[in-house]
Structure 1
Amino acid sequence: MKRLLSIELEKLWKNRASKVLVITYFVLLTLIALLASVNFSIIGIDFRLADLGIFNFPFIWHANTWLASILKIFLAIVIVSMMANEYTYGTLKQNLIDGLSKKEFVLSKVLTVSLFALVSTLFIFIMTLILGYSFSSYTETSIVFTDLQYIVAYFIKLIAFFSFCLFLGVWVKRSAFAIGFILLWFIGEQVIQGLLYKFVFETRQALNQVAQFFPMESMSNLIKEPISRFQLYKTIENQIGGQASIKDYDVHWYQIAIVIFWTAFFIYMSYKILKKRDL
Structure 2
Amino acid sequence: MKRLLSIELHKLRYNKSAKVISIVYFVLITFIALIASIEFSFGNVNFRVADQGIFNFPYIWHFNTWVAAMLKLFLAIVIVSMMSNEYSYRTLKQNLIDGLSKREFVLSKFITVVGFAFVSTLFVFIVSMVLGLMFSDFNEVSIIFSQMEYLLAYFVKLLGFFSFCLFLGILVKRSAFALGFLLIWFILESIAFGLMKWQFFKDTDIANHISQFFPLQAMSNLIVEPLSRLGAIKTAASQLGEGFAKSYDVSWSAFIIVLAWTFIFSWLSYVILKKRDL
> Same-fold call, TM > 0.5?
yes
CA distance in structure 2 between the partners assigned to 1:94 and 1:180 by the alignment? 28
Could you give the per-residue CA deviations for residues 174-225 of structure 1, whole angstroms, max 9, x where no partner exists?
Answer: 0001011111111110100000011232432221111110000000000011
Could you give the per-residue CA deviations for residues 55-99 of structure 1, whole angstroms, max 9, x where no partner exists?
Answer: 011111000000000001000000000001101111100110111
Contact 2:223 2:251 (8 Å CA) reproduced: no
Higher deviation after alignment, 26-35 or 229-238: 229-238
CA distance in structure 1 between the partners assigned to 2:188 and 2:121 by the alignment? 29
Instruction: Identify the residue that residue 244 of structure 2 maps to in structure 1.
Output: 245
CA distance in structure 1 between the partners assigned to 2:132 and 2:205 by the alignment? 34
AA partner of residue 247 (structure 2): D
Instruction: Identify the residue that residue 23 of structure 2 maps to in structure 1.
Output: 23
CA distance in structure 1 between the partners assigned to 2:8 and 2:255 by the alignment? 28
Question: TM-score normalised to the size of structure 2?
Answer: 0.96
Instruction: Identify the residue that residue 254 of structure 2 maps to in structure 1.
Output: 255
Change beyond 3 A, Cα 1:44–1:12: farther
Helix, strand or coil for the counterpart of 2:47?
Answer: strand
Higher deviation after alignment, 6-15 or 212-221: 6-15
Could you give the per-residue CA deviations for residues 242-261 of structure 1, whole angstroms, max 9, x where no partner exists?
Answer: x2121111113322111100
Change beyond 3 A, Cα 1:141–1:94: same
Change beyond 3 A, Cα 1:42–1:264: farther
The residue correspondences of 1:197-236 to structure 2 (distance < 5 A) are 197-236=197-236
AA partner of residue 179 (structure 1): L
CA distance in structure 1 between the partners assigned to 2:48 and 2:9 by the alignment? 40
Which runs of 5 or more residues in structure 2 are unaligned?
A: none
Helix, strand or coil for the counterpart of 1:278?
Answer: coil
CA distance in structure 2 between the partners assigned to 1:239 and 1:203 by the alignment? 29
Question: TM-score normalised to the size of structure 1?
Answer: 0.96
CA distance in structure 2 between the partners assigned to 1:271 and 1:41 by the alignment? 55
Helix, strand or coil for the counterpart of 2:137?
Answer: coil
Alignment partner of 1:187 is 2:187: yes
Identity across matched positions, percent: 60
Could you give the per-residue CA deviations for residues 128-165 of structure 1, whole angstroms, max 9, x where no partner exists?
Answer: 11111110111111111111110010001110000000
Which runs of 5 or more residues in structure 1 are unaligned?
A: none
Contact 2:215 2:261 (8 Å CA) reproduced: yes
CA distance in structure 2 between the partners assigned to 1:182 and 1:43 by the alignment? 43
AA partner of residue 260 (structure 1): L
Could you give the per-residue CA deviations for residues 20-58 of structure 1, whole angstroms, max 9, x where no partner exists?
Answer: 000000000111122213434456643222101000111
Contact 2:197 2:207 (8 Å CA) reproduced: yes
CA distance in structure 2 between the partners assigned to 1:254 and 1:238 by the alignment? 30
Instruction: Identify the residue that residue 276 of structure 1 maps to in structure 2.
Output: 275
AA partner of residue 206 (structure 1): I
Higher deviation after alignment, 133-142 or 72-81: 133-142
AA partner of residue 243 (structure 2): A
CA distance in structure 2 between the partners assigned to 1:188 and 1:51 by the alignment? 40
Instruction: Identify the residue that residue 121 of structure 1 maps to in structure 2.
Output: 121
Alignment partner of 1:9 is 2:5: no
Instruction: Identify the residue that residue 88 of structure 2 maps to in structure 1.
Output: 88
